[in-house]
Amino acid sequence: MVAASGNAPQTAKRHIAVVGAGVAGLSCARAIQARGLRVSVLERNAVIGGRLGDPLAERGGSDMGAQYLTVQSEVFVEEARRWINAGLLQAWDVQLIDLSNGQVALKRGNAMSAKKGVRS
């Protein structure tokens, strides 16, 4: 919050615009709203989700970008749980390939996909 001319912040009058309804935009809007500020999310597409969106084409739907996301940080785990409860995401049991030690190792990953699943 920025104080105008050294006065106390005018939080009650602030209305914040977040551009984009992807993962980052929706997370940002939620954090702003949690601080008691009024927020509007502006999205140019007919569907929300950004690259995780699910546009329908004449011959069916398609994934626009990321088909799934891995969830590692505790802060993001909490946010992902809220999205699962809202019906936007589903847990996806996935095997990941770990090349960090110079060898191929399979490990279980904590991943999420859109509620309709992965199409590609």
Between 3 and 97, the more confident residue is 97
- Any bridge partners for residue 95, and if so which? 108
pTM attached to this predicted model: 0.51
Q: List pLDDT tens digits, range 42-56.
A: 998 877 877 766 666
Q: List pLDDT tens digits, range 6-30.
A: 554 555 678 999 999 988 898 899 9
pLDDT confidence of residue 7: 53
Instruction: Work out the number of other CB atoms within 10 angstroms of the CB of residue 96.
Output: 13
Long-range contacts of 78-87 (CB under 8 A, 24+ apart): 79/27, 79/30, 80/112, 83/112, 84/112, 87/115
Conformational region of residue 107, where left means phi above 0, alpha means psi within -120 to 50, and beta covers everything else? beta
Q: 4 falls in which pLDDT band (50, 70, 90)?
A: very low
pLDDT confidence of residue 34: 92
